Every structure is written in C-alpha cells, then in structure tokens.
Amino acid sequence: MIAAISKFTVQNGMEEKVKDAFRDRPKFVEGAPGFIKMDVLSPLADPAEIHLITYWESENDFDYWHCNHLKASHGGIPKGLRLVPHSWTLTRFEYICS
C-alpha cells in the first residue's frame, strides 16, 4: 500500500471554498481501481494550506488514476482560485502501519 500526499497553499483567501469543494466533491476517485481512502487536512496554524492524502493498493494504481482521471476529478475547483506559486508538492510514501 502507498499514500500519496499532495500539498498546496491557497493564495487569495478562498480556502473555505476549497474546503467546501472537497466536502461536496463528486467522489470520482472512489471508483478508481486500487483506491482505498482519502483524507483532506489543513493545519490549524495555517488554514490556507491543504494536504490531500490518498491511499492506494499500489503505486501503479495511483499512477493510472493520476495520468488518466486527474483532470476530471478537478472539475469542482472554485472559480478564481489561485495558489501560492510553487506551493504544490506531491510526495509518495510507503505505508508501513497504523
């Protein structure tokens, strides 16, 4: 199992709209082969920073979704959203235990 963590920072004060978009999302990823679960977190000390954590059965499952369905899953992004330049990162982790 792997975890993929995407991190970004909202630049223009739209973090609550972004959080609402995640809460109300169409849930495309839930049907993806190998998808296990998704968590969306925001640090209390920096509410404009968003961490999206997805868990996958394999790195190949994540790669397939990322290359083929990522665009469709971003259809609910709030209009006018701006991110802090260079704030987006994607890190893959080996899942060891909980």
pTM of the model: 0.86
In the DSSP assignment, the letter for residue 12 is S
Report angle CA 70, 60, 84 to the nearest 5 degrees. Answer: 40
End-to-end C-alpha distance for the chain, whole angstroms: 12
User: Higher confidence at residue 20 or residue 72?
Assistant: 20
- Which structural domain range is residue 36 located in? 2-94
CA distance 51 to 39: 8
Average pLDDT over residues 57-76: 82
Q: How many domains does the chain have?
A: 1
CATH of the domain at 62: 3.30.70.100
Cβ contact 65:4 at 8 Å:
no
